[in-house]
Amino acid sequence: MNPNNTIIITGGNSGLGYQTAIQLAKTQNYHIVIASRNKTRTLAATEELKTETGWTHISAMVLDLASLRSVREFVSNFESANLPPLNGIICNAGLSLIGEQFTEDNIEMTFGVNHLGHFLLVNLLLKHLQTPARIVFVSSGTHLPEHRLARMSGVAKPRYISAEYLAHPKNAPSGERITNPTQRYSTSKLCNVLYTYELDRQLKQAGISTAENPIDVFAIDPGLMPGTGLVREFPEWMQTVFKNMIIGISPLIDGIRMPAESGQHVARLITDSALTNVDAKYYDGLKETRSSTDSYDLEKAQDLWQTSIQLTQLQPNETPLLQNQLVMG
């Protein structure tokens, strides 16, 4: 059986992305592209997926979200790969760091990988989407100021002042610079939700997503998951403590899920026909719910959108969303 459509999963070589790929492979409906930065691990993961699922229509492609050059190279390679039409994009890859690090483009790393790389990727791929299509952003409940589990696990509340300050923290006034690495993470996850809603608005305003030919956009909190690579940048002893703590309290607290379960939840946002032609939504696992108050802030969403255009140097010929607009800057 040959698939009719292609799904791209960023960070699909391990953890949640890998588990999501397993679920999509079981449907035997999609050619799955595993897009990750480490070529060796990505190739190995695709072979493991083929063996585990019996589905051979799985490809490995290199994508480093910390490099805008790599994002553009990935899209160029995808265009020449002669795969079935693109039907969905799952923006899953993400990281959480301890120290302040920067991307190849001198963007703060957490913001650069968790938001900016995906911003550029989606915009560059829009012209290849065959409707009805789906775009899924893996966010996090940590973006909710009142999220009890996030606060218990030591993740600070998000703090969005401006996208420019998130990208270039050294430009921020001392009182507005984020120095807590967990706050950089939770704020990047807020950016995922802001982008979800703004992308949906932009697609509809431009007439690219319509009732007849929809592109549905979702954000999801997969829950706090032990066994994923999210804290891989932490010292080994901290990774061990985090994993053991989460496993220990998981039977007692809602919101802690195993990657396999969360993979089912993410895959459902691609496969469930009941979700076609709807407004952008935020899910906690399987449950549709409200995201944070800040995530509905139109001023923040517009700031994030316009600043991301500038930072990525996105051009009108690269995305249909800018073809009738002037790039700011």
The pLDDT score that the predictor gives to residue 233 is: 44
Task: For the chain of 329 residues, list the mean pLDDT of each consecutive stretch of 10.
Answer: 96 97 97 98 98 98 98 98 98 93 98 98 98 98 92 91 97 94 97 98 98 98 70 45 50 70 97 96 98 98 98 97 62
The pLDDT score that the predictor gives to residue 251 is: 47
Amino acid making up residue 102: F
Structure tokens at 301: 């969403």
Neighbours of 295 (CB within 10 A): 25
The pLDDT score that the predictor gives to residue 276 is: 95
Q: What predicted TM-score, i.e. pTM, was given to this entire model?
A: 0.92
Confirm if 170 and 95 have CB atoms less than 8 A apart: no
The domain segmentation of the chain, as residue ranges, is: 5-320
The pLDDT score that the predictor gives to residue 254 is: 58
User: What CATH code is assigned to 5-320?
Assistant: 3.40.50.720
Which strands sit side by side in the sheet containing 215-221, from one edge to the other?
58-62, 30-36, 5-10, 86-91, 129-138, 215-221, 281-284, 287-289
The pLDDT score that the predictor gives to residue 148 is: 87
Residue 89, strand partner residues: 8, 135
The pLDDT score that the predictor gives to residue 227 is: 52
Q: Which of 23, 210, 214, 221 is nearest to 134 (CA)?
A: 214
